Amino acid sequence: MTALPADDGKLTKRREFLGRLGSVAALASLSPASVAQAGSATAAAACLLTPAATEGPFYLGDARLRSDIRDGRPGQPLRLRLTVVDADRGCIPVPGALVSIWHCDAEGSYSGEDGPHDTTRFLRGVQQTGADGAATFLTIYPGWYRPRAVHIHFKVLLANAEVLTSQLYFSDALNREVLGNHPAYRTRGAPTRGNTQDPIAGSNPPLVRVRSATDWLDGEFVAGIARVARTG
């Protein structure tokens, strides 16, 4: 298994994340059969456009450029590979996009949520997609809080424009298994709401495909973007 990129410690600028939801474009996710080939999406892949999801109240625009976003938070290690593809051009990989993710810890808390004096930034990070369109993060499996199901927030920026804001989910069965058995989640236990009861997820939430590895869970998701403008 290849090593994750080193943390370069740089801070992104808030202005790089051009505003909130407003002009966010639609997003697409590959069908389950296509997700298995996340790193090599081809013109034959089937993309399904779905609406963008709300940013939520806990977004911060100063996440660090880094792959390991754990900052010592306890929980089930999760390696998340998010591949960005162009839904309008046969799902070809999109290199050079900025992918930002953020989520709560095992106890349901977000970093920075206690006001301007809270400078912690655990479980937040930004990565640039490579030639294969992929950005990889080492994090922990998210916890939960009412009234939400287990989820991860993410944004995609391309050429200084925000093109996608959405949220990722995990199967209810996996949520029960991880949060019901790992000691870091013991205080809260398994979530009280499934995906279909979540007020944002809808009837067909975008699910991360997860498989077990030696020391962590490996998660994959392929997000297709509809580009706002084109040149050439």
**What pLDDT, in 10s, does the model give residues 99-134?**
999 999 999 999 998 877 789 999 999 999 999 999
**129 dihedral zone (left: phi>0; alpha: psi -120 to 50; beta):** beta
Say what the pTM is. 0.79
Convert the pLDDT of each residue in 56-103 to its tens digit. 999 999 999 999 999 999 999 999 999 999 888 888 899 999 999 999
pLDDT > 70: percent of the chain: 75
- List C-alpha distances in Å: 181 to 88, 136, 137, 212: 42, 26, 23, 15
CATH number of residue 67's parent domain: 2.60.130.10
Assigned domain for 124 exists: yes
Q: What Cα–Cα distance (Å) separates residue 108 from each residue in 5, 131, 184?
A: 27, 34, 11
- Structurally, the chain folds into a number of domains equal to 1
Residue 33 in any domain: the answer is yes
Helices and strands counted in the chain (H then E): 2, 13
- Band (178; pLDDT cuts 50, 70, 90): very high
Domain that holds residue 208: 21-225
Pick the residue with more confidence: 143 or 38? 143
Distance from C-alpha of 16 to C-alpha of 191, rounded to nearest angstrom? 34
65 neighbors 202 (Cβ within 8 angstroms):
no
* Any domain includes 58: yes
| Residues paired with 154 in a beta bridge | 101, 166
